[in-house]
Structure 1
């Protein structure tokens, strides 16, 4: 009896192991079918695998396992997975091209008259004193000598004696939309003088929201000025062919820009060529294994973070060739055909892509290899820095430095002399770019999420870093206002305080041309003609602290 019991127990265990093994085989085989069927190019091969799977099931039906309730269960699972694979393998439905339409400027419910102020001309630095500005329908509709604009009883009238009017600040590198605390962060941005921002990440869903008027229609928050769809990475754009298809798709979705998060040189060049054909700006990260001068000459619109991972310092090194050969590029696994096929599974691709972007953000300040950093410092050439700057000027290649991000990346784990020397070198390079006439704009690389409070104030931290770089107050002001408007092709309605421009204005207590620090001294913010007093702005900041 004891032997019989032991035999039955062993037999039961064998059946369990057999069942587990069979189910594992089933999932594995049909998982392969699912992956392969997602790509229409390999569908014939997927059918071959599917036939092999069915053959395997036919053979298995002759085993002891194949009886009872397991038979219909296995076939149901097999058919469901196969159907999903076939469905996923169908070509995506054509996206209806986005029809260009101007996003309407919001408007205050009243006319606003500011009296006795000084207008700062962001083009020249000239001051026009003792004037009045009239706002209506979200625009500046009149500017005249103080007292010459007839006041109406329904107007909101503000005595702005001693104040300086500049355009609303533009933060030209943010990751705000789609994050937690988006609305709270936008409130804080306005409280700190930001009336518009460039979003540097996105998705098809967020594009639909933006194009429908979301993020632009409030007089209590800054406007989202432009944004991409999904950031191009080695995960979603592993090959030139896939990357070009993605660019075309994003153009149809209504993307304002194509944002690259770091891809291989052949993919990068293919995207640049396609973006040029479609007349859509190509902007973002340039990995250090690419020559920034060549990138500029090929038409890249805007280099972010000095090129990422010390790319600009490699380009300004007397040992550039060696450093570039040693620079980190795209991992070769991303071009592996099997990896490419697996990344066609949307859920898996989105997850891996998110992790890759997160890692890129954390390492945007560059590797902390002390020997390499010291070599960059020792081989820095001002002559080569000027050469790089001149190429940028010649090709109208813009820069969004994000010094606050560079600082955070270098000093996240504390500071030592090497990190400080390297950061000082970045400040020196920023000054060289400025002196040579490179077009630059203010951006901070901040967003929502856990650090949303910091994001609201970050533009003022960037002002301070630009001042450390010895960039003049006028040029810092231009980087925060005029230059962003020019980059976006929005000089008709932004960038200066003039009749016909959007009613987005910051009133300052002190002359911003005398000191960069005066850009912090905000008395009021006007957004689309809606007046936000210092008391209101202070209240927004106070409420953010307790949230």
Structure 2
């Protein structure tokens, strides 16, 4: 009897504690704009939204009663949308950093601001496709941060993502690398090859909490083709192991021939647009080989990340005064902006000019714009065929300071809209499409009861202009409202 009384008392006490500590937020009289699973984007005016302990519990056209300890936000004249997701980012290094010792403080300043920069531009979910569980925990240690998901990177020794790396360096830098016994040479003492087969690597990623495996189908940039590359046989073994463990396969591939190989390996996600056409050219439409690959993407329903930000940011690092665009000062700490304007801060642009063999910036930017436009043409073709799009920036794709967290997502949305993607489909690309692709649609991607309350309160309607994504009033992260202006760079309290 004593046990039963004690158990009942504990239940009552725990229920009381839960009721006292539950965090409740109500947004009143707001217009919701959200994609639905049926593909339609709906707008509902004069809605009341109740959020309890970080999840949406009620959506009503009638007023919702609030208690004294509830938070209340007046949404009159504002628009509530799902938080955005950038499904291709890299979170470990400051854009444009070269690793000289005096710059460690800049890296530290970047890491403090980075999560806030994503939130400033409404990105409440990110996916880093080349991370580890340990790095995820380090990112989540920040006081405020978007929800982060990751893929494990599975390069080969000496191949892209491990270019020039020795066997020992591969072991230290990429825990999920795939060993090729016939190509990699004599392994270091103590190396266990059985831990680096496609099957073992995929199994470990699953155990570590990865959502996908990233492979690198890359033999060289532009017309170059001399880099070691994973074989089709190994790719197919990765594909089979990933299917067994319920993981996606994402492929780095941006050239015509590389995307053809990736599709033959039955990858789930192409992590880049097809902007490298090799020797193919056409004035109007797409060259036949490009169109054939694009048609195969549609036929196989392969997820497609345009990542227009890659070529844009590689071009813009050579554009004079690019960093004077107003948005950068909102998300880049002043000490980092000051360094970018020094000669040392331009090291990557100088290196690019050496690679081009010219200091003619007009020539370089024209060529990079042409490559960017090739990617835009493929994107437009796929969209016209009804293929769903994803917001993914690959921030930063290289040591270019023109690709910064958060603002790159906004620029990507602008670029996608300029290509012809309608505003309703742009909202889907930034929210529900990403959630569906990566299997998190039960929690994210729309304003619906039961979902995580990662939401944006906008001053403007995202179905009226793409600039609405820069009119954020409040970021709601797990039910906690955050004034956008408080997320600006240089407002962190040290």
* TM-score (normalised: structure 1): 0.61
**TM-aligned CA deviation for residue 229 of structure 1:** 5.1
Equivalent residue, structure 2, for 1:94: none
Q: How far has the Cα of 1:122 moved from its partner?
A: 1.4
C-alpha contact 1:216 1:224 (8 A) present in aligned 2: no
Check whether the contact 1:386–1:433 (CA below 8 A) recurs between aligned residues: no
Q: Distance in 2 between matches of 1:199 and 1:473?
A: 26
2:252 to 261, 269, 285: 285
The structure 1 residue matched to 2:23, chosen from 110, 115, 129, is 110
- For 1:129 and 1:379, how far apart are their aligned partners in 2? 43
State the partner residue of 1:265: 231
SS in 1 for 2:242: helix
Higher relative contact order (CA 8 A, sep 6+): 2
Alignment of 1:90-489 (within 5 A): 110-123=23-36, 124-147=40-63, 149-177=64-92, 180=107, 181-203=110-132, 205-206=134-135, 209=137, 215=140, 220-228=144-152, 231=155, 234=159, 235=162, 236-237=177-178, 239=180, 242-244=196-198, 245-262=200-217, 263-266=229-232, 267-286=234-253, 288=255, 290=257, 292-293=259-260, 295-307=262-274, 310-311=275-276, 313-314=277-278, 323=279, 375-377=280-282, 381=286, 385-410=290-315, 412-413=317-318, 414-416=361-363, 417-446=366-395, 451=401, 454-489=404-439
Contact 1:393 1:439 in 2 (8 A): no
Q: Any conservation in 2 of the 1:386–1:436 contact (CA below 8 Å)?
A: no
Are the aligned partners of 1:177 and 1:199 in contact in 2 as well (CA < 8 Å)? no
Question: Match of 1:101?
Answer: none
Work out which of the residue numbers 489, 492, 495 in structure 1 matches 2:442: 492
Structure 1 residues 495-534: aligned runs within 5 Å: 495-533=445-483
Change (3 A) 1:157 1:453: farther
Partners of 2:380 and 2:486 in 1: CA distance: 37
Contact 1:204 1:229 in 2 (8 A): no
Q: Distance in 2 between matches of 1:379 and 1:229?
A: 37
Per-residue deviation, 1:498: 0.8
Distance, in Å, in 2 between the alignment partners of 1:410 and 1:377 is 22
Inter-partner Cα distance in structure 2 for 1:204 and 1:151: 40
User: Hey, what's the Cα distance between the residues in 2 that align with 1:304 and 1:194?
Assistant: 19
| SS class of match (1:116) | strand
1:540 matches 2:487: yes
Q: Whose Rg is larger?
A: 1
As a proportion of its length, which structure holds more helix? 1
Given the two structures, how large is their TM-score scaled by the length of structure 2? 0.67
- Return the alpha-carbon distance in structure 2 between the equivalents of residues 258 and 447 of structure 1: 19
Q: 2:27 aligns to what SS in structure 1? A: strand
- Secondary structure of the residue aligned to 2:373 is helix
Query: In the superposition, relative to structure 1, how do residues 215 and 546 fare at CA in structure 2: closer, same or farther (>3 Å)?
Result: closer
Deviation at 1:168, TM superposition (A): 0.2
State the match for 1:16 in structure 2: none
1:382 Cα deviation after fit = 5.7
Sort the Cα spacing of 1:473 and 1:384 in 2 relative to 1 into closer, same or farther, 3 A. Answer: farther
For 2:43 and 2:141, the matched residues in 1 are separated by 30
Match of 1:9 in 2: none
Alignment partner of 2:446: what SS? Answer: coil
Gaps of 5+ in 2: 1-20, 95-106, 163-176, 182-192, 218-228, 319-360
Equivalences, count: 369
CA contact (8 A) 1:229 1:255 kept: no
- Correspondence for 2:98: none
